[in-house]
């Protein structure tokens, strides 16, 4: 299957959903005019990233009328991935993406790994998701991740083994550091290495859509990427500027890559599960959870050793 994809590298306005809805609608219109079938927006594209105490005010229930429905209504025949703050039924708030198709919300992914180190402070404001699932779409099975999620290799592994043909990562990646003679941003280099590795190891397409602009003194670098299942960069967004990158995805390339390099076919999932269970037991087992039989044998041995020592002392006259 072949289709056109658009990487909507926008600069959301912090806390201004009305302005951000307009940005989404404009990108949708441009993409539709170019024959695009799937458009992907960055992390928290409807709200901006550094929300902090604004988080509850920006939260949406995807099941009721909201900006998501407004965007879906303008999507026409396009499918779209949109970043937003989700309010759950129990009033927890999640950093989420919604997959819109046929003018409705078809799938929601809640960010699993919330960075809370350095400049990041997401655990103060968001609850962590606890599912990594593929979505059945018009394009086939797609997997969705949000920024930090894809830095944990297990997430892409889980999606690939559920049949994902493409992993869509919406991100809000800050620009940091400079590497090499060409003055490339260190964070941009790291993201490219990561996405190419994930794509090649899992024989999937990877699309990583970053935002641009400044918030609270933080610069977001853009540089969105589409990577094929061989790890080749197919398309790249501008650095530091808004961009609408349009490219072609061909899932026949996934078929060819998996035929030539059958990594998923040969993966021993049972071995992985068995070893992870063992590692989990070793990591989290506390002393008081020891096997009672082992503990009893150890105590009996200790008593026997102490008894022998006492007898030896009495024979030698030592106290």
- Domain extent, residue 183, equals 2-268
- Asked if 258 and 303 sit in the same domain, the reply is no
What was the pLDDT predicted at 170?
98
- Asked if 311 and 243 sit in the same domain, the reply is no
- Asked if 87 and 208 sit in the same domain, the reply is yes
Q: Is 194 helix (H, G, I), strand (E, B) or coil?
A: helix
- Asked if 244 and 217 sit in the same domain, the reply is yes
- The model carries a pTM of 0.87
Give the Cα separation of 7 and 85 in Å (integer). 20
- Asked if 230 and 311 sit in the same domain, the reply is no
Query: How deeply is 306 buried, as exposed, middle or buried, from its count of CB atoms within 10 A (0-12, 13-18, 19+)?
Result: exposed
- Asked if 203 and 295 sit in the same domain, the reply is no
- Asked if 83 and 8 sit in the same domain, the reply is yes
What was the pLDDT predicted at 305?
57
Torsion of CA 174, 15, 78, 30, to 10 degrees: -80
| Nearest one of 82, 77, 67 to 32, comparing CA atoms | 77
Q: Is 71 helix (H, G, I), strand (E, B) or coil?
A: helix
Distant-in-sequence, close-in-space partners of 33: CB < 8 Å, separation ≥ 6: none
Residue that terminates a domain, selected from 246, 268, 290:
268
Distant-in-sequence, close-in-space partners of 91: CB < 8 Å, separation ≥ 6: none
Residue that terminates a domain, selected from 268, 288, 306:
268
- Asked if 247 and 290 sit in the same domain, the reply is no
What was the pLDDT predicted at 309?
61
Residue 223 CA neighbour count, 13 Å, CB half:
20
- Asked if 71 and 204 sit in the same domain, the reply is yes
CATH of residue 41: 3.60.110.10
Give the Cα separation of 223 and 243 in Å (integer). 9
Q: Is 55 helix (H, G, I), strand (E, B) or coil?
A: helix
- Asked if 61 and 178 sit in the same domain, the reply is yes
What was the pLDDT predicted at 177?
73
- Asked if 241 and 143 sit in the same domain, the reply is yes
- Asked if 294 and 241 sit in the same domain, the reply is no
Total number of domains constituting the chain: 2
Ranges of residues in the chain whose predicted pLDDT is under 50: 288-289, 318-319
Is the Cβ–Cβ distance between 211 and 201 less than 8 Å? no
């Amino acid at each position: 299957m072949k289709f056109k994809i658009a990487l909507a590298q926008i600069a959301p306005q912090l806390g201004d959903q009305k302005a951000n809805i307009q940005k989404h609608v404009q990108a949708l219109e441009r993409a539709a005019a170019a024959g695009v079938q799937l458009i992907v927006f960055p992390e928290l594209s409807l709200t901006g990233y550094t929300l902090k105490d604004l988080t509850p005010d920006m939260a949406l229930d995807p099941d009721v009328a909201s900006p998501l429905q407004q965007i879906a209504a303008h999507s026409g025949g396009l499918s779209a991935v949109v970043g937003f703050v989700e309010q759950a039924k129990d009033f927890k708030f999640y950093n989420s993406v919604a997959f819109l198709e046929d003018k409705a919300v078809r799938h929601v992914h809640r960010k699993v790994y919330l960075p809370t180190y350095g400049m990041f402070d997401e655990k103060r404001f968001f609850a962590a998701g606890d599912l990594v699932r593929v979505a059945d779409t018009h394009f086939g099975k797609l997997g969705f991740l949000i920024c930090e999620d894809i830095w944990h290799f297990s997430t892409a592994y889980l999606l690939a083994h559920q049949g994902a043909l493409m992993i869509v990562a919406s991100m809000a990646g800050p620009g940091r550091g400079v590497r090499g003679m060409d003055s490339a941003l260190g964070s941009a280099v790291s993201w490219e290495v990561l996405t190419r590795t994930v794509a090649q190891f899992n024989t999937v397409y990877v699309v990583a859509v970053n935002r641009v602009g400044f918030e609270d003194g933080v610069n977001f670098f853009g540089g969105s990427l589409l990577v094929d299942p061989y790890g080749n960069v197919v398309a790249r967004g501008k650095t530091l500027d808004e961009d609408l990158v349009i490219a072609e995805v061909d899932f026949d390339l996934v078929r060819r890559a998996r035929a030539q390099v059958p990594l998923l076919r040969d993966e021993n999932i049972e071995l992985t599960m068995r070893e992870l269970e063992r590692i989990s037991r070793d990591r989290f087992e506390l002393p008081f959870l020891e096997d009672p039989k082992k503990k009893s044998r150890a105590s009996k041995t200790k008593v026997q050793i102490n008894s022998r020592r006492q007898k030896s002392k009495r024979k030698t006259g030592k106290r």
